[in-house]
Amino acid sequence: MSKPAIRNIVIVGGGTAGWMSAACLAHVLHGLDYRITLVESADIPTIGVGEATIPPIVDFIRFLGINEQEFVRATNATFKLGIQFEGWKTTDSRYFHQFGALGCAIDGLPFYQFWLRAKQQGDQTVLSQFSPAARMAAQNKFVPASFGTKESLLAGSSHAWHFDASLVAQYFSDFAQQKGVMRVEANVLDTTLGDDGDIATLTVDGASGVATLQGDLFIDCTGFQGLLIEQALGAGYEDWTDYLPCDRAVAVQSESTGEISPYTRAIAEPAGWRWRIPLQSRVGNGYVYCSQYLDQDDAQAHLLSQIDGKSVTEPKHLRFVTGHRREMWRRNCVAIGLSAGFLEPLESTGIHLIMRGVRRLIELLPATRDCLCQAREYNQSLIAEYTSIRDFLVLHYATTQRDDTSFWRHCGEISIPDSLAHKLELFKASGYLKPDSHDLFEYNNWLAVLEGMGVRAQNTSPRINSVAPEEVAKILQQLDAALGKMTDAAPTHEAFIQRYVIDN
């Protein structure tokens, strides 16, 4: 007998994952015969720390038809051009992982090959000097790519935002409810499975007492606990702590001080790393650490001693297990957000994975609850995305030259995944970076981190030998000068926010 049609979608959880999923589903299914309900608890707080993003968020906002300026205003957002990594290779090292271009390909040859060739000739430039985003970030300047012509160097830059997580959830909540999503404020007490093993109903306790809520498809956005996907359906969890040992974080907000930088800072610390995320009116700070080497009180004391400006919230302590559900879609339940898995926020990928989850769900949205093959496809593709991000994160730790604390010695000894080992070996031998269709991070992202961590290709491509040394030097000089001119002409980040966001 065929299973019932899917008409009634129930989302549990009103954090960033719940409301982003609701907004996206409501936008796409608007006017069709679907009913979308979101249940959120007033008693269980959201995690509220996801505040740094990566460029695909801008496309997501455009996809929903939201005006960017309005979104930036409503969420207290600032612009982000990348991440400044401090103290990762050695205690006094620093590099910038830019969004967008890093040089430009010439005659089909990657810019990196030109730069390597110049290095062999004694060139003194640093690779990030050839990135529009890194150049602007270094001078606290910002102008979006859309302000340049298609041919201008600016076209190679890219941006994302730092925003207030609670304002973002509120924004998507209003958006989704305007598009017909029904909000139920209640605690989910229990889950009932049908004879076929699918979730049939939820028992909820809300303003009108205890009630039963039916659904055809359930989206679990209940955070780390995975109330439906794990507690009701036992999807199982793949633990990646051996690759990424941090398992705790402490977060605190502080007053703004100094200029608002258009980038996140990721500062290596004795037992992990610390983030600094500047918003328009405050700063988000946190220390991600490994409990094997640091206890909660010392982590909090260290974080508070390092932030600039007075803290304006109580420190919030979080525990996590890096990894993912073995099945993110199981039976008639799809987990999105922290309930699906967790990768530490070193490259700000949490919210991106929410967007990937909901958009993939929409692509595969089944007509009926008979959806085994859609679930299989979803699980394979999402897990591949988590895996490629994991490898990118491991790269940051495993290539460290630090051995000054037990934590960093541990990182230097991490046994890296085979997929990453192969990528590194190939890169060192040839400068070639194996593309992976699931890889969120592209050639230029990998290059920035590899070079920043002191991993450089040992050989240039033989094809670069056809370009004369003087020609290579000239290309680098011209690009450097043009980027300098572009950056000098750009407004400061704060002036841009004032002019194009606040005053507009």
Catalogue the active-site residues.
80
Least Å distance, CB 149 to ligand FAD, is 31
Which one, 111 or 171, has the nearer CB to ligand FAD?
Answer: 171
- 39 part of the interface to ligand FAD, by CB under 6 A: yes
Query: Is 347 assigned to a binding site?
Result: yes
Tokens of 197: 């093993």
Site for ligand FAD in 258-317 (CB under 6 A): 286
The span from the CA of 205 to the CA of 187, in Å, is 5
Residue 44 touching ligand FAD (CB under 6 A): yes
Instruction: Give the range of 7-15, 428-436, 474-482, 484-492 binding ligand FAD by CB under 6 A.
Output: 7-15
When the beta carbons of 53 and 399 are compared against ligand FAD, the nearer one is 53
Question: Does residue 16 have a known ligand-binding role?
Answer: yes
Listed ranges 134-142, 350-358, 378-386, 450-458: which one lies at the site for ligand FAD (CB under 6 A)? 350-358
Judge whether 104 and 66 are in contact, CB under 8 Å.
Answer: no
DSSP 401-457: ---SSHHHHHHHT----HHHHHHHHHHHHHS-----TT-SS-HHHHHHHHHHTT---
CB of 49 to ligand FAD, least distance (A): 4
Q: Counting contacts by CB under 6 A, is residue 351 touching ligand FAD?
A: yes
Residue with tokens 């051995």: 403
- Tell me the H-state helices in 319-371: 350-364
Between 41 and 128, name the residue whose CB sits nearer to ligand FAD.
41
338 is in an annotated binding site: yes
User: How many C-beta neighbours within 10 Å does residue 123 have?
Assistant: 17
> Which of 24, 25, 49, 398 is the binder for ligand FAD (CB under 6 A)?
49
Closest contact distance (angstroms) between CB of 74 and ligand FAD is: 17
* Binding positions for ligand FAD, 142-181, rule CB under 6 A: 165
Asked whether residue 471 is marked as a ligand-binding residue, the answer is no
Name 38's bridge partners: 11, 183
Q: Is 40 in the site for ligand FAD (CB under 6 A)?
A: yes
CA 10 centroid distance within chain? 26
Q: Which of 345, 357, 366, 431 binds ligand FAD (CB under 6 A)?
A: 345
Q: Does 15 show up as a binding residue in the annotation? A: yes
348 binds ligand FAD (CB under 6 A): yes
Nearer to ligand FAD, 28 or 54 (CB): 54
**Binding region for ligand FAD (CB under 6 A) out of 215-223, 294-302, 434-442, 458-466:** 215-223
Distances (CA, A) of 250 to 265, 322, 454: 16, 16, 30
Determine, following the binding rule CB under 6 A, whether residue 50 of this chain makes contact with ligand FAD. Answer: yes
User: Is residue 338 a contact point for ligand FAD (CB under 6 A)?
Assistant: yes
Stretch near ligand FAD under the rule CB under 6 A, chosen from 45-53, 109-117, 129-137, 446-454: 45-53
Question: In which residue are the tokens 């810019």 written?
Answer: 111
Task: For the CB of residue 251, give the shortest distance to ligand FAD in the complex, in Å.
Answer: 6
Q: Does 198 bind ligand FAD (CB under 6 A)?
A: no
465 within 8 A of 435, measured Cβ to Cβ: no
Q: Residue for token digits 């990762």?
A: 88
Structure tokens at 475: 């290309």
Size of the site for ligand FAD (CB under 6 A): 38
Q: How many CB atoms lie within 10 A of CB 149?
A: 8
Please select the residue that binds ligand FAD; options are 6, 9, 12, 38, rule is CB under 6 A. 12
Residues 193, 369 contacting (CB under 8 angstroms): no
- Are 26 and 176 a contacting pair, CB within 8 Å? yes
- Binding of ligand FAD by 223 (CB under 6 A): yes
> Interface with ligand FAD includes 188 (CB under 6 A)?
yes
**How far apart are the C-alpha atoms of 305 and 8, rounded to whole Å?**
50
Alpha-carbon distance of 271 to 224, in angstroms, equals 23
Which C-beta is closer to ligand FAD: that of 43 or that of 107?
43
Contact between 17 and ligand FAD by CB under 6 A: the answer reads: yes
**What residue spans of 81-219 are helical by DSSP H?**
111-120, 132-138, 165-178
Report phi then psi at 393, rounded to 5.
Answer: -70, -40
Identify the CA nearest to 21 among candidates 216, 173, 188: 173
Least separation in angstroms between residue 410's CB and ligand FAD is 20
Task: Please tell me the distance from the alpha carbon of residue 331 to that of residue 26, in angstroms, as a whole number.
Answer: 22
Among 6, 10, 16, 161, binds ligand FAD (CB under 6 A): 16
Cα-to-chain-centroid distance, residue 343: 9
**265 - beta bridge partners?**
84, 276
> In this structure, what DSSP letter does residue 458 have?
S
Instruction: Decide: is 222 part of the binding site for ligand FAD (CB under 6 A).
Output: yes
Confirm or deny that 49 is annotated as ligand binding.
Answer: no
Alpha-carbon distance of 351 to 474, in angstroms, equals 42
Nearer to ligand FAD, 49 or 375 (CB): 49
For ligand FAD, the closer of residues 49 and 475 by Cβ is 49
Interface residues for ligand FAD in 308-327 (CB under 6 A)?
318, 320
Torsion angles phi and psi, residue 161, rounded to 5: -135, 160
Residues facing 84 on adjacent strands = 96, 265
Of 45 and 197, which CB lies nearer to ligand FAD in the complex structure?
Answer: 45
What residues are designated binding site for 7-chloro-L-tryptophan?
Answer: 80
Q: Binding residues for ligand FAD, per CB under 6 A? A: 12-18, 39-41, 44, 46-47, 49-53, 165, 187-188, 221-223, 227, 249, 251, 286, 318, 320, 337-339, 345, 348, 350-351, 354
